[in-house]
Every structure is written in structure tokens, then in C-alpha cells.
Amino acid sequence: MTIDLSTYGLEEEQLELARLVRAFADEVVAPQAYEADRTKTLPLDVVAQMGDLGLFGLPFPEEVGGQGGDYLTLCLAIEALGRVDQSVAITLEAGVSLGAMPVFRFGTDAQRAELLPDLLAGRALAGFGLTEPEAGSDAGATRTTARLEGGEWVIDGAKQFITNSGTAITRFVTVTAVTGEAGGRKEISTIIVPNGTPGFTVEPGYDKVGWHASDTHPLTFSGARVPEANLLGERGRGFANFLHILDEGRIAIAALSTGAAEGCLEAATDYARSRTVFGEALSTRQSIQFLLARMQQRVHVARLAWLHAARLRDAGQPFKTEAAIAKLTASDAAMDNARDATQIFGGNGFMNEYPVARHYRDSKILEIGEGTSEVQLLVIARALGVV
């Protein structure tokens, strides 16, 4: 089955991009998804092809090497990839939102000139080190420190769950660190740390429940030294700057979640039509029809939610609450559709070679990463004035 995107008020260029990436997902990404998941290997050849398609540069101006598109168009690409392989989709999402976007948004001209060309072409990846063992949803509890000594930042601490931090093409990570105190509160700044810096160790990757082909590592810093010029953005504004990046990332995760929910719907619909039970197609049973109808409802509502948030963002209007609503709605849709699709597949749904099994494992993190569902509820409640 194919969902008609032309009913969502998209521009013709956006529809064409969505068709292009969906074809790429079906023809290039999907055939390798099971093996990449089984071997827990990020397919760098696929990443390179995504770079050739210009996907990493979609929301950036042409003058810095981008495609001159908007954030909505990027999210259409992420949704298309999320249908067939969440690991590949999150590699693109994190590569743009957490890797390149902070440099573009807050970097100096020199930092942009040095780092953006390869990031926007997909020749390099970068990670963003925010989460720590004691600082996740409460990022203000950051314990990693950076002090100036002889014109260099000396960094000590640890980060965890950092995407794209240990690939063969990872160029650097941007880390949040306490650089002092201001008004009795921690002064948190962001600092660029190139991979290979002495004292900076990318620890072995995690044994994760899902997103097996996505690169994720803990990081440790023990007296790691980088030039003072590696400060990204204004000193003491690191946490505040990241919150804006995080709001944008929630829209992208909502798009990825919508793609996952749609992938489950597509697979379950095709399976129900082809699977014969007691002499009849599974799809003739009303209980299955109702399950599929609910799944379609979730996909539609999730897509409307993230499209609305993305349009607000691209129009320069406030979108924080709408991004939270979109992420909450879409991640719920992904989990619910994965569960229902697995049930429709029966025993086959428990076998990893079937995409619904991988979606079932992968989708749980969508309710956790880029702000848990509970954090999204808190953001929405604050907007209502009840917190």
C-alpha cells in the first residue's frame, strides 16, 4: 500500500523529494536493513549515498554548501527512511540536528568554513555530548567540567548514549561542560572536541535493544585539551542554545516516528492481504480490519502534528509546545502500530528478519530520546499554565 502525501498541502518540490527518498529507502536501504541490524553495523555506503543525494545538507543555505531547503523537507526525508530502517533515519536526523546544526547556528565563520562542508556532504558525521550518567532529562545537572589553562580547555567527565560518536567518519563531538558559575548557577558551555584528541576516549558501543545499526557510544574525558577557540557559541549559553536545537530535534523524531508507524501499517496491510487463515485472507476478518484502521488513524494524526510544528518552525513562529505534542503523538503511534503489526504477523512478527519485529524493538527509544514522553507532557502542561 502507498499513502498519498499530496493531500497534506505540500509543495511540488517537497513531494518530489519525498518520492525520491521513499524510492531510495525501498530500493537501497530496505534490502540491507536486516543484515545491518543483525551485524550491528552502520552501513557507511548507504550514508555516502545519502550524502550524494544531498540529504545531510537539506535545511542549510546554499552559501554554506547546503541544499537551500527547509526543516519540513528534511523531516520528509527522515520520515521516508524511518519507514524501512530507523537506524539509518536516526543517523541522518542526528547528523543534521545534533552534528551540523549547532555549528551552523552558533559557530564562528572559521568553524563553519572548516567543519560544515564535509558534514553537509555526508563525508563526515559529528555527535553531541549532552547526556551523562547523572544528567539526562535534568541536563542542568551536568558534571563534565572544562577549565581554561594556557589557552586551552581542559575537559574532564563522561557522556553516555551519544549517537554518531564513534564511526569511521566521525569528525568531532560537541560537548556541554560546566565552565564556571554565574549568579550561583552553573555556567554551561559547549565545546568542540575532535575525535583522536588525547584524553578523549570513545568507549565500546552499547549492546542495545534496538537501533542496532545506529552508532552509539559512551564517552570519557580525562584531561582532554582543545584550543580555546573550540568554544561553540557564547560562553555560558551552551545549555540554552541546546534547548532550541532540542525543540527542532523533537519535530524530526516525530517525523521518524511517523515513518516507523507507517512502515508497520504498510507491512501489516500487505501481510493481512496475503496471509490465508482457515481458507480466507486474514484481511477479511473485521478484527484485523479495525486494527489496520486504527493504525492508519495514528499515522495520519502523527503526520499532521509534525507537519504543523515544522511549518511553525520554518515560519519563524514559536513551536516549542507543538514540537512536544508532535513527538508525544508520533512516538505513541510508532509503539502502538509496532505492537499491533507484530500481533497481525503472529509468530513471524517475533522473527527479526521481518521489519515489524525490528520496528517493535526500535520504537521504544522514540519515547525516550530527545526528551522522554514525560518531559513532553511537562512542556505541554507548562504551556497550559498548570505547572
Residues marked active site are found at: 370
Burial class for 117, CB neighbours closer than 10 Å (0-12, 13-18, 19+)? middle
| Cβ atoms of 247 and 323 closer than 8 Å | yes
Please give the Cα distance from 228 to 354 (Å, whole number).
Answer: 50
CA torsion 172-240-387-139 (nearest 10°) is 40
- Residue 62 has a CB neighbour count (10 Å cut-off) of 10
For the record, the C-alpha cell of 24 comes out as 531510495
CB within 8 Å of 183: residues ≥ 6 apart: none
CB within 8 Å of 320: residues ≥ 6 apart: 247, 379, 383
Element holding 350 (H helix, E strand): none
C-alpha dist (Å) from residue 327 to 23, 138, 262:
25, 19, 15
Query: Which amino acid type is present at position 51?
Result: G
